[in-house]
Amino acid sequence: MRARVVVVAGLVVAAVGGVAGSAASGQSEPSATAAAVKRVPNEVGRNHQAAQDDLQAHGFYRLREKDCTGRDRLLIWDRNWKVVRQSPKAGSRVSTNRTITLCSVKYSD
């Protein structure tokens, strides 16, 4: 019985230490309440993965992807796709909470 109490107490300490450790390291996740208004960068013509990385670097984390051929394929390997259209358009000033849609085609299409 005594061994179970020690294990449970150890798990609680580890869980609390993990939460405190991530807060103390200064790492934070994007906040839904502090949405800034920013210009949407132009991603048309770029590799799909590079476009996603760039949008995230600009503070846009709500990203949607679409097969622009109309075949409803899933973009499993993002590096095999090229962005041909985006919504909202490049240069638009929008909230960073807004969903950005990248419409892409495979390089082999």
In the chain, what are the domain boundaries?
37-106
68-73: long-range contacts, CB 8 A cutoff, minimum separation 24: 68/103, 68/104, 68/105, 69/105, 69/106, 69/109, 73/106
Check residue 33 and give its pLDDT: 64
Considering the chain, what percentage of its residues have pLDDT values greater than 90? Answer: 67
Check residue 14 and give its pLDDT: 43
Q: Residue 20 pLDDT > 70, yes or no?
A: no
CATH architecture group of domain 37-106: 2-Layer Sandwich (3.30)
Considering the chain, what percentage of its residues have pLDDT values greater than 70? Answer: 70
